Structure 1
């Protein structure tokens, strides 16, 4: 088990998964609630934690299937204990080695892709898992433009791939995505960076 998996197992046992759900919830819910998902879709959440985004998306009438994957066994144990729909499935696996024939219309990731160092192999796998015309919505609070979060590397003492917004978009384009980005802030938050920089969402569509 790698250092990242061990850390998130500890977090799952100590209630951090619920704290992350609450902490990320404001910007993630703002973002997801504005998506137009009228056509039937299959959904994947990479680094799903306790599964809260999978549960949210599975409630949409147009959702056919919602899958969450996470390297942490304890996070997936928590997610499975909260399953609310037969549409939901959860698996303990890292993204790169996940052996699946599934293809998805919508793939989401919040605060997880940068734990793959470097990120390119993980992003290539995302591109492969998407159906043609599918979209990857990648959220991160950890990007070099947001200087108040760059210290997380030292605080957490695990490998993390730090890049600027410009570098994120360049990486997406080089993999083959058409790309745009969006910032979602939390104006009432006590943390200055959440009010001013917010979550960076890099959006990649597979042509």
Structure 2
């Protein structure tokens, strides 16, 4: 695991401890054997419905990037145990970098997934500058851990090629009116799971926060047909540099 050092970066220890405590309580700390098979899980898995959704999102991304049909560099921010980065590395002519500040899961990703076109690094895109540029940056169930939409997107644009894109999947976005209610629901949930400190690290973003940027919604859970079939409760958002 390559570690990006920045003396001015904040200390992430408190976040990591709070985050891992909650994930353990939710049953989201997996063995190497389980991680190696993700997004596939057993029929008896307590989060099988969630992994069905994430598996579908993964297929969308793999198909999308496969159609590029050219050498392509992808950065996944908040890669965790690396399962999605590993799946994206199946795309022909792709180089994938997974980045996170969660040391335990990054170490697991390095143990489980070893391939020539896949690398995992410790770092925060908001506080470091990589020595390379990417065609795409992916946030999968991770964008909600960044407080400022403007700050994180500007940091991403600095690491993207001219025609690069940011993809956000498996993350809730709300109407402005819904944000306060969603924030209160999260507060109740964190308190109920003895992880009240997570309130400081989990943020609720509105679609209005994306208005200054060139974005399109590649999948909308609010469309009529998707409401009927309930394919995925989260939007797939693509933001151009």
Q: CA deviation at 1:23?
A: 5.7
1:181 to 2:178 alignment? no
Which residue of the other structure, out of 233, 236, 240, is the alignment partner of 1:198? 233
1:6 to 2:48 alignment? no
Which residue of the other structure, out of 118, 140, 144, is the alignment partner of 2:148? 118
Q: Which residue of 2 aligns with 1:60?
A: 91
Flag the structure with larger Rg.
2
Output the CA distance in 1 between the equivalents of 2:209 and 2:231. 19
SS in 1 for 2:173: coil
Q: CA deviation at 1:86?
A: 1.3
Q: CA deviation at 1:32?
A: 1.1
**TM-score, normalised via structure 2 length:** 0.68
Q: Which residue of 2 aligns with 1:71?
A: 101
Q: Which runs of 5+ in 2 are unaligned?
A: 1-11, 40-50, 191-197, 222-226
Q: Is the 8 A contact 1:30 1:184 kept in 2?
A: no
Change (3 A) 1:135 1:17: farther
Change (3 A) 1:96 1:66: same
Tell me the alpha carbon deviations over residues 109-131 of structure 1, each in whole angstroms, 9 at most, x when there is no partner.
11212212122211111111100
Change (3 A) 1:60 1:30: closer
Q: CA deviation at 1:104?
A: 0.2
Output the CA distance in 1 between the equivalents of 2:232 and 2:107. 33
1:170 to 2:211 alignment? yes
Q: How many residues align?
A: 193
Q: Is the 8 A contact 1:47 1:110 kept in 2?
A: yes
Q: Is the 8 A contact 1:168 1:202 kept in 2?
A: no
**TM-score, normalised via structure 1 length:** 0.78
**Which moves more between the two structures, 120-129 or 17-26?**
17-26
SS in 1 for 2:230: helix
| RMSD of Structure 2 on Structure 1 (CA) | 3.1
